[in-house]
Each structure stands twice: as structure tokens, then as C-alpha cells.
Structure 1
Amino acid sequence: MHMAEYEALPAECAKALKALSALAYANARAVGQDEKVLPTLLRVVKLHSAESAVQLTAMRAVSNMAYDQEIALTRLAQADVMGQLLSAMASKAEPKEIGARASEALARIIAAEVKPESEGGGPPPEQPVQLPSGSTGALCGLFLAACRGEAASKEIVPQLLAQLASNEVIEAKQAAEGFTRSEQECKLAVDGVGWLTLAKILSPNDTVRDLPAALVEAGAIRAAASIMARFIGDSMVQLTGIEAMSSLVGNRWAGLRAFADVGGMERVEEAMRHHGQDTLIQTKGVRALGSGVQWPQDVQERARYSYRRAVELTKTAMSQHGMDAELQIAALEALAKYLDKTRCVSEIKDAGGEGLVKMMMTTHHSNAKVQQWGRHVLTGIGADPNWAPKTSAATS
């Protein structure tokens, strides 16, 4: 192929891609079935990422190939192809047609799977399409590509889903089920982080009507917990997992019940135990545990939530990260909640809890929030109401 022979020359690549686009427009299947076309096209696109002529003609070629539903499903619905399309869409490069053509191609690929009778997906194949061995399908491939891509590729997904929804190609239920299903393909910790990050982006997003609720219904919280359990030793998975589950739950009772039923709080506890030296995990974990004590009793029972374990983990986090003011604020606020809800005076005072609180108040004597929540805790456990942290100024 001319394009492979002259791949170092962007002008020659653009000419070859323009010709390829025209061939694909005339016969998408013949072009798409050629084993050399896609690998060469993807290589050239990556080699000349800053060349608008190469990017535009490449996106036109893929979009024309995607008009054939069989090619869309068997050749283009792969994470590497869809990842390049997402990158092009997210780059917002000039001319704007680059992103528009990439978006068009993605829409055709997804439509070929979820709504083959739609006009944008091209004529349906005469026989049902047999997906290649190991293929995840178009929708799952889209989400996997986003999970493995850069931040911009993840952030563009809600816009793409909104376009698909407005064109009546996809509904929130289908998108949520496809996203949840893609969790099973996260074989590496980095994929798990990507999936959880995308969950954080999608779960509060209302660009697709009913998507946040549909994610809960489809089992996204269970999927998030599964990723956390699979990669318990990876600190970034655990931190992103805590954040993702919190975002998926939101302020929805259905989300809270799902979180309880999948043992979400146990995942938080495990993350804290395995990553005691990670300040962010400890801070996020302390806050998550503190929220549990305010749940209704039946939800606490369903979740096997234990405020006693929560108090113990909170005190451990305080002692391990004494110099971190944010963690101390979160921990003291949580202890105040436990006292207000359960009157767990002995649990907090056990193993030197009162001294720990006073030590943190002394260490952070100039932090108003540490002092506020610390005094709340000391009052709750019946400590000397006149006690005040000693500072160098006070003792000089």
C-alpha cells in the first residue's frame, strides 16, 4: 500500500487516506475486510497526530467503512479503533469536521449493534453478524476504549451518549448495561482505575435522561465493588473505587440499598486496612464510614455495618497520620457522629482514645475545625470541659 510505503510523509498519507475514503464510500465492505487497512490507518494516525489533513481523511475513511454494519461490528467495534475515534472526538482539533466525522463513525458502530434498523447505521446485513472470537461488542468496546484512554476520552463519553440518545439510537438502560458489562473485561488494575473514573463521570451526569438511576439498576455499584475486590493491593483502584461508589450512590435510596447489599462498606474497610499509609484512602474511608452511622437501622443491618469497627479504623487512621489536618478533621467529625448516634463513649475512650484526641488538638492547635470537632468529642466522652491544648505561647 502507498500509505504504508510513505508513512513518514504526512502529505502522502493524506493523499492515500483521501483515496481510501473514496473507496470506502463506494464499497465499505471491500475496504473494511482488507487485513492491512485498519492497522496501517491507525499507525499513520498516531504517527501524524498533529497533522489535520491526515486526521480528517482518516476519520472520513473510518466513517465510510462504518456505514457497512457487518464491518462496523466485526472490524471497527474494537477498543483500539474506538479509542482512536474517541481521541479524535475529544481533541476538538481544527477543522471541526475531524471530531464530527469521528462522532459519526462511533454513532454508526454503536447503532449497528443496538439499533441496526436505524438509518445512521447503514443497511442491515442479510444474515446475523457473527462477532469475532473474543470480541466484546460495540457498546462494551466503546466503554473499554474510554477506560483505557486519556482523561479527555473519558470526559467526552457523556456528550457522545447524549448525541446517541437524542437521535433515538440508544436509551439510558442500554448504555448502563453496556457500561456495567464492560467491568468484566478489566483484567489489569489500570483498566479498573479507568472504569471507576468513568463511573465517577457518568453517575452524576444528566446529559442522558435517567442514566444515573439506570446505572444503579444495571448493577454498576456491584461492578465497582468487584473491581475493588479484584485489585485490593492497588491503592489507586481503592481510592478511585471509594469515590466511584459514593458518586454512584449519590442521594438515591436505591443506590444506598445497592451499596449495602453488595457489601460496599466492607470494601471501604478492606481498602483502609490494606493501605494504612495512604492518607487519601484513609481520609475518604473515614468519611465513608462516618456516613454509615446515619443510615436507617435496617440498611445498617443489610450492610453488616459496625460502628465499632468504624470507630477502631478511624482512631487507627488518626494515630497513623497525626500531621495531616484534613484527615484529623474528617476523623474527629466522624467520632462526633458516632457519639451523637450511638453514645459509644467506651469505644472511643478505649486504647487511649481521649489522649489521642487531645494530642491531635495540641498538634493542630491553630486549626479551628480540629478544635471545634475535638471539643465536641471530648464533651461527648465526659472529659474535663476546661481542658485546652497547650501551645508554646501558652507555656512561655
Structure 2
Amino acid sequence: MTVSDWTERYQGAVMNTFGTPQGVLVRGEGAYVWDADGTKYLDLLGGIAVNALGHGHPAILDAVTQQLGTLGHISNFFTSKPQVELAEKLLDLIGHEGRVFFTNSGTEANEAAFKATRRTGRTRIVVAEGSFHGRTMGALALTSKEAYRAPFEPLPGDVSWVPYGDTAALEAAVDDTVAAVLLEPIQGEAGVVVPPDGYLQAAREITSKQGALLWLDEVQTGMGRSGAWFAHTESGIVPDLVTVAKGLGGGIPIGACIALGDAGQLLQPGNHGTTFGGNPVATAAALAVIATIESDGLLDNARKIGDIFRDGLASHPLVAETTGRGLLVGVVLTEPVTADVQKAALAAGLIINNATPTRLRLAPPLILTVEQAEGAVATLTQILDEVMA
């Protein structure tokens, strides 16, 4: 069957929440995927920052196969070795004592963190404009885009919005009624927006002064994407809550709410739960992803390859600037033509994302090679030339 055949079947059977799919993919290997017509693409989006090790990586395949053949699922009346080992590993990577709650996705990790903030006795949450934190009702209440929220209101309230990166606005919004400030270290869905230097440090000082929690959403930026295990670590701060997902499982659904210090005691028996969170197969996959990132030097690779994209595209006359860190790359255009660029890139065999009319987003697998990156830069440069002409 062709891409057209499968698309027609999709439209007859699957809810129309995403519109018409850009294609029908049937297999992947490394940084490449193939569609039902046999067309090959270089995946520069990585399932939206999910496929940290690319497609079909043997480490994930071996871990999942072995674990599924041993113990596939247990209820939350029990624990398993990979669940405990992964919680310990995440706390080791973040470098502080705490507690971990496992989920199936990023939005569920944010739901857990949201519930934890309510255990402070306060209800107000201060969130940045341009943010994206998920689609469930709680996480949606904390997501900036009004078009996402409006059809589902009323949502959980007591949410205040401040401009991202504006320290003065943040300080003015936070008082002793605020339960938490929620920020992305780099805004992903907004198009890879990086805050000014010192912003996260200021957020930590402001929240500490008012007795509020600092909650960092690292669903997209965490687990090596930025060239560090967590994007906030270079700021030198210690947050109270950190949420991760996406790259954690390398394509196997898993998320985590990491609560540090006293915040680790906010949720107690009966306060929250999940059937599939912390599943042995998912946690085994995550351990394999982390081990591979460590053993293959993929944090260094993310920084090196990300710079190839930023440096290679920055000088094009249609590019105002390139942003991001590691392999979370933003390309800001001088004209609102990213939809044209994305469409042309797909036709040329590159999967990229037009996050906004002027911002492209790249989030390829951390295994991407220099040769692949340089080839992609050359192709994108040609596409930018054609769009500008």
C-alpha cells in the first residue's frame, strides 16, 4: 500500500486531532526513516526530541526484549529492580537527594508536579508566556497558547503569566501566596527561545525569598538534549521540581517528576498514582538510553553537532539568528516563511519543524554524525536560497 492509501485509511479511522499527517513512516534505522513509498528521510526532529538514540538502536531493543521476557508489568503494589535503579540514576545525574515519581509522558510528569505544588498549602502558579507544558487539563492550564486552552475552559485557575526572560516582571509577580514558578530552561515549542544569562539564577533567588517552589520543565531539554543531562545545570542552581520525559526512554513512553530536597516529601501515600508509570520495560529502556549516552560520549556529540547547525546556518541572509544549546537548535528567519521551508525540506528528504512562522526547530537524534549534519546544512542552505529568491 502507498502513502496515499494509508493516509486515506488514517483519515477514516483516527481522530482528526493532528490534521493530515505529513507522511506514513514504516521503518527507521539510526537517524533515517522510510515511508510507505520507500522514500528515505534524515530525521532532524527525532520524534520531537524523543528518539535520543535514533531508530532501532540495539541497546534499547536488547533492554526491552530482555526485560519483557523476564517481567513485563506489575501493579504499583510492588516495585522492580529497573524502577529503583532508574530513580537512583536520575538523582545521581541531577546531583542532589530527592524522590522520583514515574509517569508515561511529559504532560503526566507535569501533572504530578502540579499536584505536588498544591501540597504546599498555596495555589498560585506563575508561568512564562510562550510556555508549553502539556495537553491534559492541569498541564494545559499552565500552557501559554490561548488557542490550546480556550476550548477546554474552565481550567484549574490561579495561574499568572509573565514575559519569558523578564526578571523584573517575575519578581513583581511572585509574593508569599505563590506555590511555584514554572519555567522551561529553553522554551521548545515556542521555537527554541533561550532566556538571558542569569534568568534562572534570578528565578531561584526570587522563589527562595518568597518560600515558593522553583519548578523546571525539562521534558524537551533534559536527558542530554542540550549537551548536558539537564539544561539548567550550567546555571548552578538547584530547583525543587524537575520534570523529564521525551528522550528519557528513547521512544518508549516514560516520564518522571523529580522532586529535590524537602519537595520530595510533598506527595505521600494516597496523594497520587499511576498504573503504568515506572513499568519495568519502560524503566529498563531508560536505563539503556542513559548508559548508551554515557558510554558513547553523546553529550559531547550533541554539543559538537549542534554547533555545526548553528554556525552553518547563522550567516544566511534569511536567518536572523540561530539559538539553542546542544541538539536543540532554533533557526530564526527574517520572514514568516518557515512553513515553506519545512515543506521544501521534507521534499528534499529532511524532517524539520516549523515551530512558528519565523522559527524552525531541529531536535535530531544525539547519534547524528558530522557528515549527516554538514549534508543537512548544505541542503537547508539551498532551500533557504530558493525560498528567498
TM-score normalised by the shorter chain: which range applies?
Answer: under 0.3
Structure with greater proportional strand content: 2
Larger relative CO (CA 8 A, sep 6+): 1 or 2? 2
The structure having more radius of gyration, on CA atoms, is 1
Q: TM-score under structure 1 normalisation?
A: 0.24
Q: TM-score under structure 2 normalisation?
A: 0.24
Structure with greater proportional helix content: 1
